[in-house]
Amino acid sequence: MNDFTMKIPTFKELEQIFFSLLSNIFVEEFVDYLHMMDEKIMELRDKNRYRLKDHRERTIQTLFGEVTFQRRLYEDRTTGQTVYLLDQYLSMEKRKPMSPYLEEWAIRLAAEGTSYRKAANFLEEWFGKPVLSHETIRQKLIERGMSFQEEAPIKEESKPKADVLFIEVDGIHTSIQQSKRKSKEHRIALVHQGWKKRGDRYELQNKQYYRHEGTGDFWEGFGEFILEHYDVDEKTWWIVSGDGAEWIKACENYFRNVIFVIDRFHLARELKEHLKDHPEAYQQAREAFLAYDGEKIIQIVEHLTVEHTDRRAKQKWERFVTYIQNNAKYHRDYRNLLKALGKETSTYQPMGGSEATMRLFARRIKSGGYSWSIPGVESMIQVLISLKTTGRIPGERGTRIDDIKQIEQNRKAHAKERISRSVQKIKEMGKGAVQGVLPYLAHTSRTHPMHQALRGLKGI
């Protein structure tokens, strides 16, 4: 190995080189396919209606860089207007500088990341130049969130029959910009029909999210939502979990067969915070907690004598005691209650994941201490709900396998020889990268980041 003096790029450097090379090939193939489609449309158009008028250029930013292509402009003899038939067939919005896929990717980055600015910075690093500003991404996300429309009502025969519904409810506060109200509480419920084991994990069955809108009663709006998505009747059991807020516990006044259980996360946090200076009482409370003995927790707290250092400490302790008295009695295993009613509970899991559910939203809309506009935060929540429910952002279409096969057939029929040319091009460019001769450098600007990176590899 001491005699081996050949310098070769690192794996990362090779990734950068070949990503750039393949991006260029993608652009060439994509433009060629668009031109082929435009020609086909010209041949098959209604010639009595559409008169060929001109060719115009359009540039769109895609995931692989800028794509510039020519398409034909027609005059519609019926309406007197001009139209790009290719744009119509591809559902391309007028004067939109980015591809739908790039837009959806940017929105996903913003929703699943921590800020719009970080999403914009990631795209800049990916492309080697600024692509979308953080404000553009924000506006696009708001457009998607505000334009969201509920799916068509589920047919009665398609609604899943619900013998037991599991509901985890919580509220999350966000700071609101330029408003007399310094914050706004967003009330959200996760609904499902139980758990199914997949490998080492459990999946929620028939999962839905409900976001309360307007100023009306939460549970009334929630009831209407349930009727739209599930087949429920007077025999349905409602298992509700929450942090003990009065508006959540009000569920007991709305449903016939309801079991409210306090969220274990909140109760455990309260016990640890207020009993940390009383180890013996905390150990007893922890054992009662693990045994789902809420009444025992109340007794431990009520019989504990605490000396207060000041008025604020006394008030804090009194609030804790009140919280325990009002909510620890709901720390119970709902499965035991259902078993007593003859219900099968072998597949049911402990409740108390509402805090984990809220973390999905809190991580995004509370991180960084940002203030939000009302449309901005509501749109973000809607986008997150859509992602968690369907795996897509509002308005996003899935790509059908049939569509991919058809495009592949068209591409092969029109330009089969381009496949071998593309493969040969990759080989030639890759060979140049090893030999120290980079053809790519001759076709890019010296100021382009990839050009500068490759220059830095000179001599390799």
Local confidence pLDDT in tens for the 460 residues of the chain? 556 556 778 888 888 788 888 888 888 889 999 999 999 999 999 999 999 999 999 999 888 888 999 999 999 999 999 999 999 998 888 888 888 889 999 999 999 888 899 999 998 888 777 888 899 999 999 988 887 655 555 666 688 899 999 999 988 888 888 766 678 888 999 999 999 888 888 888 998 999 998 778 999 999 999 999 999 999 999 999 998 899 999 999 998 899 999 988 889 999 999 999 899 999 999 999 999 999 999 999 999 988 888 899 899 999 999 999 999 999 999 999 999 999 999 889 888 654 566 777 877 877 666 788 888 888 888 888 888 888 888 877 665 445 545 555 655 555 455 555 555 555 555 454 444 445 555 555 666 555 555 555 554 4
Euclidean distance between CA atoms 17 and 454, whole angstroms: 8
Q: How far apart are CA 34 and CA 51, in angstroms?
A: 20
Please report whether residue 312 resides in a domain: yes
| Residue 308 belongs to some domain of the structure | yes
In a domain, 276, yes or no: yes
Residue 253, domain member (yes or no): no
C-alpha pair distances (Å), 181 with each of 170, 176, 221, 380: 20, 7, 23, 19
CA 313 – CA 180 distance, rounded (Å) = 31
Which residues constitute the domain of residue 332?
264-350
264 to 134, 269, 326, 434: CA distances (angstroms): 38, 8, 14, 60
CB-based contact 355:263 (threshold 8 Å):
yes
- Give pLDDT, residue 326: 93
3-state DSSP of the chain: CCCCCCCCCCHHHHHHHHHHHHHHHHHHHHHHHHHHHHHHHHHHCCCCCEEEEEEEEEEEEECCEEEEEEEEEEEECCCCCEECHHHHHCCCCCCCCECHHHHHHHHHHHHHCCCHHHHHHHHHHHHCCCCCCHHHHHHHHHHHHHCCCCCCCCCHHHCCECCEEEEEEEEEEEEECCCCCCEEEEEEEEEECCEEEECCEEEECCCEEEECCCCCCHHHHHHHHHHHHCECCCCCEEEEEECCCHHHHHHHHCCCCEEEEECHHHHHHHHHHHHCCCHHHHHHHHHHHHCCCHHHHHHHHHCCCCCCCCHHHHHHHHHHHHHHHHHHHHCCCHHHHHHHCCCCCCCCCCCCCHHHHHHHHHHHHCHHHCEECHHHHHHHHHHHHHHHHHCCCCCCCCCCHHHHHHHHHHHHHHHCHHHHHHHHHHHHHHHHHHHCCCHHHHHCCCCCHHHHHHHHCCCC
Q: What is the model's pLDDT at position 401?
A: 47
Q: Is residue 330 part of a domain?
A: yes
Q: Which two tokens stand for residue 29?
A: 């193939």
Q: 420 lies in a domain? A: no
Per-residue model confidence (pLDDT) at position 404: 47
Residue 311 lies in a domain: yes
Total tally of structural domains belonging to the chain: 1
- Asked if residue 346 belongs to a domain, the reply is yes
C-alpha span between 148 and 231 (Å, rounded): 24
pTM of the predicted model over 0.75:
no
